[in-house]
Structure 1
Amino acid sequence: MAQESYVEGCSIQIPPLLEPNGFCFWKARFETYVKSKDIDIWQVIQNVDFYFEVEDLKTKLMKETPYELLKDDEKKQLGNNNEANMTLYNALPLKNCKIDLLTQEYEKFSISNKETIDSGFTRFNVVVTSLKSLDPDYSSKNHVRKFLHALPLKWRAKVTSIEEAEELATLPLDELVGNLKVYEMILENDGVVSKTTTKDKVKSLALKAKVTREQTSDDSDSQGGSNEDVDEEEEA
């Protein structure tokens, strides 16, 4: 029988949990459990997700039907896709669920523009270490290439140079991170120098403008004095 849990006095059935070396017995119990809930959910688990298509009027090709155009019964069938996935997750051992979630996090991993290499590597290392502890096969994956491709666009030139100069299959991840941290410091220093140079240019232009104004003022005063002397000589 399926296990039961209690929430606020109500009994909620959960699917039978898959146990080691008990697949055949579990499969029969699981099928009975799912069919008793909804036969459509069993169809999704056995085959593929429900999917509805409509012809694109411009391209004449088939595309996924927008949700707002679906009929009520079609929306319900799409809901069965999520229900089927959740039922399977609840029936799997906790280890398998963790592996699935960590795998998704690994595949979608990315580093933002504002994030440092240290911060990105810390997050990445947590995911990789956790996966290795649950699934030994992940120790053989090329994490170097994955980390490189997770870097933001401003790193593209550096990524390309590393891929051309290094044998990624044998490059240790720690060595890669050290290389990237050195380059990160160069980028930061270039940014500081650029800002300083810009400030110096602004100060220089301001100083030149000030000197020019003072020279113009002095010349005007000098010309004014000369004119007065000429007027006095004429009057004499």
Structure 2
Amino acid sequence: MDRNEYTCKAPMFDGTNYAFWSKRMETYLSSLGFDVWMSVKNGYTVPQVPPTNLDVKREHENNAKAKNTILSDMSDTEFVKVMQYTSIKETWDKLQSIYEGDAKVKEAKLQNFRAQFENMKMKDEEKIANYPQRVDDIVSAIIGLEEVFKDEVTIKKVLRSLTTRYDTKVSAIEEDKELKTLSLDELFGSLSTYEMRTISGESSKREVAFNITKKGKEEDAHEEEDNFDVAVEIFVRKLKKGSGKYKEEEVEAEVDFEGELVSALEELWKVRKEYKMVKYAVAKEQDILNKCLEEFEKKILDLRT
């Protein structure tokens, strides 16, 4: 799209998130001109007769611009609540009264949001990437009620509300950085980097421990199988030789018991070898799958950064 074709739209109001909408609308009206926003803030009395004075005409135009902007970007449900007002300040004050209330209601809302802020705490399994949104929602609600809220207060609260796995990083931040000059973006960026390094390190340790345990179990299993195969081989040889306790003094010619047993054991031996080959093939495929999963996890971490 050509930059000259780009137009910024006024924020739409449907009766929800008034605090956010009012700030956005204030910014938008100010972009139309300083006097346009001043007509909302200071008010304008509509003259009984058409104005002839140039300054009065400009005041009327500024009021009309602001009124057109606000009412045009309002749902029908909200429009009927303010359609009777001629001054845009009356419209603005009415909306403020409806959604923020009087001083007592406003103070009650502030107390509620302050309590939420004080009780705010990071969940045990919560990722640091998700925590800033919860913090920002509460802080924005407080600021939307015209409460002065410094970043330093929010930063100190965030550091107090983190889980114990961030204790080392919190101590380092408090010692090395000046909290008055530290921004929230810098704080969460630093915590995100620490989280990724910590998770990566713990994953590597768990992987090494798992591989060692897995290797040990596989070696034990292979050793047991090898011992069994050796025992079968020795037993078959003894039967073939007819030596030791397996040698019969009298064997009827028509019944070849030893031959049948030897054949059965050889067949068992062959089946076990095939089983081992299949088992090793499956284990190899499992290793390939594990490597693919590791590469996938690394790509996910790279995307997060």
With the length of structure 1 as denominator, give the TM-score of the two structures: 0.53
AA in 2 matched with 1:145: K
1:225, distance to aligned residue in structure 2 (A): 5.6
- Number of the residue aligned with 1:206: 217
Indicate if the aligned counterparts of 2:121 and 2:161 stay in contact, CA closer than 8 A: yes
User: Is 1:155 equivalent to 2:157 in the alignment?
Assistant: no
C-alpha separation in 1, matches of 2:102 and 2:141: 22
C-alpha separation in 2, matches of 1:144 and 1:91: 31
Indicate if the aligned counterparts of 2:152 and 2:179 stay in contact, CA closer than 8 A: no
Indicate if the aligned counterparts of 1:121 and 1:177 stay in contact, CA closer than 8 A: yes
C-alpha separation in 1, matches of 2:151 and 2:235: 87
List gaps (5 residues or longer) in structure 1.
Answer: 1-89
Query: Among 171, 175, 194, which residue is 2:182 paired with?
Result: 171
AA in 2 matched with 1:146: K
RMSD, matched Cα: 2.8
Query: Among 127, 130, 144, which residue is 1:119 paired with?
Result: 130
Alignment of 1:20-59 (within 5 A): none
SS state of the match for residue 98, structure 1? helix
CA gap 1:140/1:182 in 2 versus in 1, 3 angstroms: closer
- Number of the residue aligned with 1:69: none
CA gap 1:170/1:93 in 2 versus in 1, 3 angstroms: same
AA in 2 matched with 1:130: A
Q: Which has the higher helix share?
A: 2
- Number of the residue aligned with 1:231: 243
Query: Among 94, 112, 117, which residue is 1:106 paired with?
Result: 117
Indicate if the aligned counterparts of 2:151 and 2:183 stay in contact, CA closer than 8 A: no
C-alpha separation in 2, matches of 1:147 and 1:135: 21
Q: Which has the higher strand share?
A: 1
User: Is 1:180 equivalent to 2:201 in the alignment?
Assistant: no
AA in 1 matched with 2:194: Y
Output one character per residue of 1:29-58: Cα deviation in whole Å (capped at 9) or x when no partner. xxxxxxxxxxxxxxxxxxxxxxxxxxxxxx
SS state of the match for residue 111, structure 1? coil
- Number of the residue aligned with 2:269: none
Query: Among 84, 108, 128, which residue is 1:97 paired with?
Result: 108
- How many residue pairs are counted as aligned between the two chains? 145
- Number of the residue aligned with 2:16: none
SS state of the match for residue 201, structure 1? helix
- Number of the residue aligned with 1:144: 155
List gaps (5 residues or longer) in structure 2.
Answer: 1-100, 249-305
Indicate if the aligned counterparts of 1:99 and 1:131 stay in contact, CA closer than 8 A: yes
AA in 1 matched with 2:144: S
AA in 1 matched with 2:123: S
1:141, distance to aligned residue in structure 2 (A): 4.5
- Number of the residue aligned with 1:19: none
Indicate if the aligned counterparts of 2:117 and 2:139 stay in contact, CA closer than 8 A: yes
